[in-house]
Structure 1
Amino acid sequence: MDKLQNPDQLDMELMAEAELARLQRQHRIMEGDRKAFLDEITNKLKKQRKIILGLKRERDELMADIKVATCDGQKRKDSDVSTKLQRLLQRHEEVVAELRKEKARSDEIGQQVKKTEKKVAQMRLKEITDGEYQERIRSGRKSVQMLENKLETTVKRFCTVLTENRQMREEIDHLLIERTRFNAIWEKLLYDFNTGKKLMLDLIEQATLAYDQREEWCSKLQALKIRAHNDVIVHTQEMREMQRQLDHDGKLREFLTIKGQKRVMRDLEEKEMRKKEQEKADVEKQVKLYQTTLDQIKEFCEENDIERIAAKYLKQEEENFALFNYVNELSHELEVLNESISELQVKIEEQKEIAEERAQKQKETLDTLTQALEEATQRADGDEEVLKETEKELAQILEGIKDVFDLINCDCAPILDLLGENPDVNEDNVMVYLGLIEKKVSGLITTVYFKEKSEEDLYNIKGQKRIMSDLERKEKIKRMEMKEKLQQKLDHYSTMLKKSRGSQEKAKRLK
């Protein structure tokens, strides 16, 4: 057993020794690493301490700088520096803007210079010879003369048109005043007519109401008449009955007085007895008749008291008499109203005739005014056509000025800025063209004058003055006269053009 266990123990010991050696080696390595790490840590700590010291110094310096910077003097300096910086920035922006403007101006000037150079080159290409120049002068003279004639005729026509237009305007103003008067009269007549119509309608309504009331009261009056007639008949019958009763009572009284006398007559007594019985029977019949009549009256009046029936009858009689009087008054008023209605109808007919006559007169006046307005409108249309023709002639005159401008080869470079994009002759820039033409003609005259004078001086200095022939002298005189005439015509043409522009402005105002 010991022999068997020994190898195992040896192995275990060997393994333990190997493990111990490994651990010792690892311990030595770790110890070396620890020393190296400690050295490295100490070096890093030294460096970090140095950095911390440097940072502390920088912090102290910064705190000192902050204290210095936060003082009042430093703040004032900072504010001054900031204001200076703002001014410099603003000045920088202004300078940049001025540079841009100057650059744009230089570009525009360069473009204008290029345009001017192109136009100068074109004008140099358009230079003409003396023959063409003379031909153009002759054609320009003819065109100027034609334009002057046309302008004169146009001005005359325009003046006549203006006078006619003024007369027409005065007539139109007069017609407008008449129209306002007519409208005022028409409104007044309409107001009067409406008032009369309203009054007539009120009267017709009142008459209709009165007529209806008259019919109603007539029917009531007829009923009252019938009732009164019946009452009269009844009263007459009652009066007759009462008279008969009264006669009967008188006879009875007479009979009783006679009978009261003592007279013994048997036959007479028997007759008297029969007569009394007969009278008694008659009285009973009469009483019965009265009783039946009274019962009928009670039944009709629905009243049993005789005194009340009598009072009611008297009251009814009074009411009937009052109604009778009222009906008489109404009939009288109806007669008066009928008379007034007939008078009003006559007046209404008269007013209708007067209104028809006025309406006819107003219609005739309105037709006359309408015709006059149509004539004035036609005249105004004619004046507008004349004005259009005048504008056409003015356009021809402007074209003639352009031809003269091109004929004498005027330079339009000085007025390029004034002309803008429209180099044609128009009403706004015609005076500019005339001024250039006048300057050009004056320059030509001056050039010719100095040229002739220099030639004469040259001839005098050299002593070789020659006698000019009559033909050359006449040619020069004609040339000078032609220049003077051209100058005079240009002056006259400019004045006529000013007058034409003034008349055209007046025509526009009249429009």
Structure 2
Amino acid sequence: MDIYVRNVNVIEDAFTQMKQATGISSTEEVVTTFIKAEEQNYSLYNYVNMLNSEIDMIEEHNKAIETEIKRHEELGDMTEKEKEIVRQKLSEKVEESNALHNEKDQQIKLMEKNMVAIKDSVWRMVDEFKKSNFFLSVAQSNQYDDETVFNENNVTHYLAELEEYISLFMTYMACKQNDPNAPTVSIPFESMNVKEFDKTKMNIEPPSSNEVNLANEDAETEEDMTTDPRALFKKFEDMKAREEDITDASQLRK
């Protein structure tokens, strides 16, 4: 309680001193004046910061002007031969820049041409996969029509859809051939980082003749499988054609 009373007395003394110094008798007016003074101080602080920023900009501009003046003074001291060498170097830089620009422009045009060329093939393959009840679970299904245009912004989405269909078809083919690694057959292991494990001593027994024969049979089976997307799609079309022939034959027998 004593501390509270002392604090109140200190505040009252402070207000009394402010009233005597400012000539203001009302406490509310003292508070209002103090708030306005703080707002003015804050505005002044912002104004000073703005002036400092403008001063920094002017100093940077002055440095650039000094550099330009120095460059012109050096040019003035050059002989005509030295000036000609500088002009030639600048011309070479301009030509190199133009050549690089033209090369990039040609690359962009070639890419656009290739995108136009592959659109119809991608459209046809995706359409066949959809008709064969392959369903996407990761990539987004895209709509195709005559107005569809592949470009650098959307080609990734279209190719991601086709890539997932091909991955599903590879898994389907592996399952059909009873491959025990069917769930992972479409994973690109060759592009994964090799993991280093602790190397321990191993006792390896040579395989028997029966095991060698079985291994050769497995190797022949693996040769029948392919991960080339074009070959896979050709197999897919052949299978689809055979299924249609079987369906037509069944209907004729009926």
Instruction: Please report the TM-score for the alignment, with normalisation by the length of structure 2.
Output: 0.36
Bigger Rg, which one = 1
Answer 1 or 2: higher relative contact order, Cα 8 Å, separation at least 6.
Answer: 1
Instruction: Please report the TM-score for the alignment, with normalisation by the length of structure 1.
Output: 0.20
